[in-house]
């Protein structure tokens, strides 16, 4: 790990690569960094502080909320609201977006979309979870309240995106459109340090991540992909390795570093797919492409899709080029 470069220093040194107001991106990422530290601390003490388990109510998607879902959502919203860089926020845990209209937010130029705790069903059994975020420049006039259209922008309009992964170490990975970099949290010092500079997804991967428990519900093309990966072919190194945790951040992070493919297709139990376009697919797609990989809904580039609703779901395929091209040959 390069202990001489902190996340804050890296942002300042690379502000020339950000096309808009430099200081605002730095402040936004600083808020995300702070909230991530707070969530990380809560997760590390979850078994001792009675915040494991379910809340007993459901979010807008009909999914039962974990106590840590609500805690993480509150932490990120309050931390981001305390600054004046954003005029609104949309969260996977909320029915609608929130507008920040206090005086300090009147000149804000950005909105954030966030999945506060991805993979939260794993938290009670101590498996890796994460936070995913996406930053857009607003399209409504500055000085007016944020609008629905500010949040329904295609992924190719993102100015920055990233995630925090709370695992054996806590890592913040982000891109602002000029490559992908990862920063590991040093709890002794309390800072994130550059540990994964200029991340590139290997073009050839041998890991596949999919919920094979849904196999019977998958379309024929998806079944062909899985069977192909399980066939014996010594020349191509098949069968490939299956790895799936149920946490998008964890599965994607591993595949990005080692080479592989993640997919959550449509099926009879999820006709439109399960993952949310705005909170999960767009930010992960932005990171994937910046790291040299591919990301589609099976036919179209994810970043070109025009959202129609805040909690829209889409089929999702992303990863190493060789596996993505092979997957498309079966799908199409």
Q: Is the pLDDT of residue 177 over 60?
A: yes
Segments of the chain assigned to CATH 3.30.540.10: 7-196
Q: Is the pLDDT of residue 61 over 70?
A: no
Which position has the higher pLDDT, 80 or 45?
Answer: 80
Q: Is the pLDDT of residue 35 over 80?
A: yes
| Segment 268-275 mean pLDDT | 92
Angle at 199 between CA 195 and CA 205, to 5 degrees: 125
Q: How far apart are CA 17 and CA 12, in angstroms?
A: 10
Contact 292, 278 (CB under 8 A): no
Dmax over CA atoms of the chain, in Å, equals: 64
What pLDDT band is residue 120 in, cutting at 50, 70 and 90? confident
Contact 112, 133 (CB under 8 A): yes
CATH topology of domain 7-196: Fructose-1,6-Bisphosphatase; Chain A, domain 1 (3.30.540)
What is the percentage of the chain residues whose pLDDT exceeds 90?
76
What is the percentage of the chain residues whose pLDDT exceeds 70?
91
Q: How far apart are CA 98 and CA 246, in angstroms?
A: 28
pLDDT, one tens digit per residue, over 274-284 is: 999 999 999 99
What pLDDT band is residue 48 in, cutting at 50, 70 and 90? very low
Segments of the chain assigned to CATH 3.40.190.80: 207-331
The answer, as to whether pTM is greater than 0.75, is: yes
Q: How far apart are CA 220 and CA 65, in angstroms?
A: 33
Helix (H) or strand (E) holding 255: helix 248-258
Q: How far apart are CA 30 and CA 156, in angstroms?
A: 23
- Tokens 């014996």 belong to residue: 232
CATH architecture classification, 207-331: 3-Layer(aba) Sandwich (3.40)
What pLDDT band is residue 60 in, cutting at 50, 70 and 90? low
Query: Which of 26-35, 48-57, 102-111, 223-232 bottoms out in mean pLDDT, i.e. has the lowest?
Result: 48-57
Q: How far apart are CA 287 and CA 323, in angstroms?
A: 17
């Amino acid at each position: 790990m390069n202990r001489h470069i902190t996340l804050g220093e890296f942002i300042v040194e690379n502000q020339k690569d950000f096309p808009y107001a430099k200081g605002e991106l730095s402040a936004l990422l600083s808020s995300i960094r702070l909230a991530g530290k707070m969530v990380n601390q809560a997760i590390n003490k979850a078994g001792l502080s009675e915040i494991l388990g379910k809340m007993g109510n459901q979010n807008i998607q009909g999914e039962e909320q974990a106590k840590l879902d609500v805690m993480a959502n509150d932490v990120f919203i309050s931390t981001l609201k305390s600054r004046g860089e954003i005029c609104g926020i949309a969260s996977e845990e909320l029915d609608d977006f929130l507008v920040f209209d206090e005086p300090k937010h009147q000149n804000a130029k950005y909105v954030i979309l966030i999945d506060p705790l991805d993979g939260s069903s794993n938290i009670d059994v101590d498996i890796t979870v994460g936070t995913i975020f996406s930053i857009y420049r607003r399209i409504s006039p500055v000085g007016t309240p944020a609008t629905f259209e500010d949040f329904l922008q295609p992924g190719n309009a993102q100015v920055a995106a990233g995630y925090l992964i709370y695992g054996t170490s806590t890592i913040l990975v982000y891109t602002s459109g000029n490559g992908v970099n990862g920063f590991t949290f040093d709890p002794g010092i309390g800072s994130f340090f550059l540990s994964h500079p200029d991340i590139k997804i290997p073009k050839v991967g041998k890991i596949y991540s999919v919920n094979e428990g849904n196999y019977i519900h998958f379309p024929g093309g998806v079944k062909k992909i899985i069977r192909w990966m399980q066939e014996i072919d010594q020349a191509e190194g098949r069968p490939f390795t299956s790895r799936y945790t149920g946490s998008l951040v964890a599965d994607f992070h591993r595949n990005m570093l080692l080479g592989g493919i993640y997919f959550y297709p449509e099926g009879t139990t999820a006709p439109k797919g399960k993952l949310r376009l705005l909170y999960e697919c767009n930010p992960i797609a932005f990171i994937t492409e910046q790291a040299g990989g591919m990301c589609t809904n099976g036919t179209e580039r994810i970043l070109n899709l025009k959202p129609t609703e805040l909690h829209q779901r889409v089929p999702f395929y992303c990863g190493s080029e060789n596996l993505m091209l092979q997957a498309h040959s079966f799908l199409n």
